[in-house]
Chains A and B, each alone.
Chain A
Amino acid sequence: MRPVRTAVISTVAVLSLAGCGASPGGSGNDTAKNAEQAKQNSKKIDVSKAGNVTLTVWDQEVRGGQAKEIKQLNAAFQAKYPNVKIKRVAKSFDDLNTTLKLAVSGSKAPDVVEANQGRQVMGQLVKGGLLTPLDAYSDAYGWGDRYSKVLLDLNRFSDDGKQFGSGSLYGVSQMGEIVGVYYNKDKVSSPPTTFKDFEAQLQKAKAAGEVPISFGNLDPFAGIHEFQTVQNQYAKPDAVRDFVFARNGATFDTPENQQAATTLQDWAKKGYFTPNFNGTGYDPAWQQFAKGKGPFLIAGTWLTSDLADNMGDKVGFMLMPPPNEGDDPVSLGGESLPFAITSKSKNKDVAAAYIDFLTDAQAGAVLVDTDNLPAMKTEAQPSGGVSQEVTQAWKTLNEKQGLVPYLDYATPTFYDDVSGAIQRLLAEKDQPKGFTQDVQKDYSKFTESM
């Protein structure tokens, strides 16, 4: 009896331990060398002669105009190249970000994926050698001419994944986005032209018993947008970029950031935001603005079509006015998730042609038709209304290099770090000085480990 039992127990133990024994993730590859090799193997091909190919594409273009745009372009690509079949896997933003790492590192990796900018997703995939550098394709197809430098830099990483904002190009995006100021034309007769003027209008609205800025921070990404919109009026754009890209010894604990934090906290104290904003959801907040509850809303251009549907021509869009009239505007913004090619894809050249198709001039026209803001340079123009104001602002920002990237790209954990800190700042649990120090502490934990 005894030996049998022992045998069973040891079998169980052996099976259980089968998963152990090696470091999880296997041995470290020489990602830089592989990346170099990938670049040499990349070439522009005639897709119609590539034989029968199935491209598996993971994207998160599932809402309104985005869904329309991608369906239309996918159909057009397959019509142009009948030998290519696109197998699309559509996921929500959160689902995509949380499942991508496993999918891309698995044996049946998709060919093309939308890999979100920043260290949380793209950075980690590049570090693991799971994405193909696209520089050779970019040269062959001329992607570099389609976008402003700021936009290209957002999709760049060094091949070891350590440097963000420079190095190889790992993806290109379709849509641009700006976090700017929407205003209700019934309540704002003359849009402010300086930051001071904007603050004066806030005060006037408050005195008139209105909610000056509609703001819901229960979904705490909203707080990041409010903070950066103010921060950009104090800090130099390059300082913020250096911080996000972790270069030139940038730090968060600067006088400019403290000033921005002071101003924002001051606005909260004076009641310039929706009452109880920390307990108000993002959607209810902008819906209040759409219903005419107050003059201003600081939000991203993803709300443009919803706001236009609700408010018609009463809604206007502008960039946060600079401290001095006539200064170049600086604004938080960026581009949609970039399309990237996985290292394990067997059809990289076809995948590159597909990405090219999604981002060329014709695609730009489709994007405009479907109420999207094209990130690439394009002649296509929306016919008027708030979309035109958004398009104009986008052009200005790209020409003046005034786009500043999202802070949460900075480290893998920074979204939680900075959004929690802003909630504390606005609830006066933290003072501006403590706020910048706390955020810097979280940030340096990452930079020191690099």
Chain B
Amino acid sequence: MRPPGEPRRVAYLYILPGLAVFVAFVLAPLVHAGWISLFQWDGITAGEWVAFDNYKAVVTDPQLRSAFLHALVLLIFYSFLPIVIGLLLAAAMSRAPVRGLAGFRTILFLPQVIALVVVAVMWRMIYAPDGGLINGALSAVGLGSLQQNWLGSFNLALPAVGLVGTWVMYGLAMVLFTAGVQKIPQSLYDAARVDGAGPVREFFAVTLPGLRNELAVAMSLSVITALRAFDIIFVTTKGGPGNATTVPSLLIYQRAFITGEVGSAAAIGAIMGAIILLLSVVITRVVEERR
């Protein structure tokens, strides 16, 4: 007699259906993409074996290099800023009961609900140099000299696009954190206050440590969103002006579907996948598991 719970061979049979689907639709395409990335292939005629040239190009091709750099900048806007804002909002909401909290939360969460393409179209209008909301508001209050060519300036376009990401992501962070805050026992706050902690001290001593798990989730999600950023950039700037806002996912699309550089697109995809995997592992290890 085998004790219950002991692994049996038949278990493999149970996981087989799921495994088969996983292999057919995830693993096999993944391996196939890795294989394609070793070729110079236009998507139609026979590919030419180039080994790791497509990967080397990530370092040597200035366009690719700058795309990865832009992705790093976007990390600040898509991940760091939303988490900071989300934490502030959660901390504010945790300290005092806010009248109509559910309403506020819904409104602040709305950007997360809207389809990204709609968000992008909307922000393209908001950023329009002539007749856009921001420049219009600036001139209405007599600050016309601060008007900017938001999406058309080589220096401003990337931060401008990044801020759209901040606007989209902070709601998610906030909802995660406010939910997390409610889980922290009130006694901890009481104890902190008895010990004479101010709001800042309370935040760092009680709220932040209590939100460790939520922080890990928010970071993983937002980092992945940042590195995959495509919709917003595709609709607002298409990578322009010049190459000021190109990101890896935009290049994957262009190379795979437009310019016939499928091998290179697959290589960029593989690298992006590896980076995302690595960051996720690091985030969960560092933030979540350290207890």
Q: Which residues of A contact B (CB under 8 A)?
A: 1, 4-5, 8, 12, 15-20, 23-28, 97-99, 101-102, 105, 120, 124-125, 127-128, 130, 217-220, 274-281, 284, 288, 412-413, 416, 419-421, 423-424, 427, 429
Question: Shortest Cβ distance from B135 into chain A, in angstroms?
Answer: 9
Contact at A279–B152, with CB atoms within 8 Å?
yes
Residues from chain B with a CB closer than 8 A to the CB of A424 are: 154, 241-242
Question: Shortest Cβ distance from B164 into chain A, in angstroms?
Answer: 14
Q: Choose among B12, B27, B238 the residue that contacts A220 (Cβ–Cβ < 8 A).
A: B238
Bound complex: CA A281 to CA B257 (Å) = 24
9-residue interface stretch from B72-80, B105-113, B122-130, B268-276: B122-130
Residues from chain A with a CB closer than 8 A to the CB of B138 are: none
Q: Choose among B41, B130, B239, B254 the residue that contacts A25 (Cβ–Cβ < 8 A).
A: B41
Question: Shortest Cβ distance from B250 into chain A, in angstroms?
Answer: 10
* B31 adjacent to chain A (CB < 8 Å): yes
Contact at B259–A429, with CB atoms within 8 Å?
no
Known: A412-B42, A420-B239. 16 other contacts (CB 8 A): A4-B9, A8-B19, A15-B24, A15-B28, A18-B28, A19-B35, A24-B35, A24-B39, A98-B257, A105-B43, A279-B128, A279-B241, A281-B124, A412-B259, A416-B254, A420-B242
B27-59 Cβ-contact flags toward A at 8 Å (1 or 0)? 111111001100101111111110000000000
Contact at B46–A17, with CB atoms within 8 Å?
no
Q: Choose among A19, A23, A128, A288 the residue that contacts B39 (Cβ–Cβ < 8 A).
A: A23
Bound complex: CA A8 to CA B237 (Å) = 47
Residues from chain B with a CB closer than 8 A to the CB of A421 are: 242
Residues from chain B with a CB closer than 8 A to the CB of A279 are: 127-129, 149-153, 157, 241
Question: Shortest Cβ distance from A425 into chain B, in angstroms?
Answer: 9
A-B pairs with the 7 shortest C-beta distances? A279-B152, A278-B152, A128-B44, A276-B129, A19-B32, A276-B149, A16-B31
Contact at B242–A276, with CB atoms within 8 Å?
no
Question: Shortest Cβ distance from A109 into chain B, in angstroms?
Answer: 12
* B103 adjacent to chain A (CB < 8 Å): no
Question: Shortest Cβ distance from B66 into chain A, in angstroms?
Answer: 11
Bound complex: CA A1 to CA B8 (Å) = 8
Q: How large is the interface on B (under 10, 10 to 19, 20 to 34, 35 or more residues)?
A: 35 or more
Question: Shortest Cβ distance from B127 into chain A, in angstroms?
Answer: 7
Residue in B closest to A21 when the chains form the complex, CB atoms? B35
Q: Which residues of B contact A (CB under 8 A)?
A: 7, 9, 12, 19, 23-24, 27-32, 35-36, 39, 41-49, 124, 127-131, 149-154, 157, 237-243, 254, 257-262
Q: Choose among A4, A20, A288, A429 the residue that contacts B130 (Cβ–Cβ < 8 A).
A: A288
Residues from chain A with a CB closer than 8 A to the CB of B259 are: 120, 412-413, 416
Bound complex: CA A300 to CA B36 (Å) = 40
Contact at B28–A16, with CB atoms within 8 Å?
yes
Taking each of B32, B46, B157, B241, which has the highest tally of chain A beta carbons within 10 Å of its own beta carbon? B241
Q: Choose among A16, A27, A413 the residue that contacts B23 (Cβ–Cβ < 8 A).
A: A16
Bound complex: CA A20 to CA B240 (Å) = 36
Contact at B241–A124, with CB atoms within 8 Å?
no
Contact at B128–A28, with CB atoms within 8 Å?
no
Bound complex: CA A97 to CA B256 (Å) = 12
Contact at B44–A125, with CB atoms within 8 Å?
yes
Residues from chain A with a CB closer than 8 A to the CB of B27 are: 12, 15-16
Contact at A127–B45, with CB atoms within 8 Å?
yes
Bound complex: CA A167 to CA B65 (Å) = 39
Taking each of A25, A120, A124, which has the highest tally of chain B beta carbons within 10 Å of its own beta carbon? A25
Contact at A25–B45, with CB atoms within 8 Å?
yes
Taking each of A102, A276, A423, which has the highest tally of chain B beta carbons within 10 Å of its own beta carbon? A276
Bound complex: CA A4 to CA B154 (Å) = 59
Residue in A closest to B40 when the chains form the complex, CB atoms? A449
Contact at A19–B131, with CB atoms within 8 Å?
no
Taking each of B27, B29, B48, B242, which has the highest tally of chain A beta carbons within 10 Å of its own beta carbon? B242
Q: Choose among A97, A124, A276, A429 the residue that contacts B42 (Cβ–Cβ < 8 A).
A: A124
Taking each of A8, A101, A127, which has the highest tally of chain B beta carbons within 10 Å of its own beta carbon? A101
Question: Shortest Cβ distance from B156 into chain A, in angstroms?
Answer: 9
Q: Choose among A8, A24, A277, A413 the residue that contacts B12 (Cβ–Cβ < 8 A).
A: A8
Contact at B129–A275, with CB atoms within 8 Å?
yes
Bound complex: CA A278 to CA B28 (Å) = 43
Bound complex: CA A19 to CA B124 (Å) = 41
Residues from chain B with a CB closer than 8 A to the CB of A1 are: 7, 9
Contact at B152–A277, with CB atoms within 8 Å?
yes
Contact at A420–B243, with CB atoms within 8 Å?
yes
Contact at B240–A218, with CB atoms within 8 Å?
yes
Residue in A closest to B31 when the chains form the complex, CB atoms? A16
Contact at A12–B41, with CB atoms within 8 Å?
no
Given that A28-B46, A284-B128, A416-B254 are known contacts, is A124 also in contact with B153, CB under 8 Å in the complex? no
Contact at A218–B152, with CB atoms within 8 Å?
yes
Contact at A217–B152, with CB atoms within 8 Å?
yes
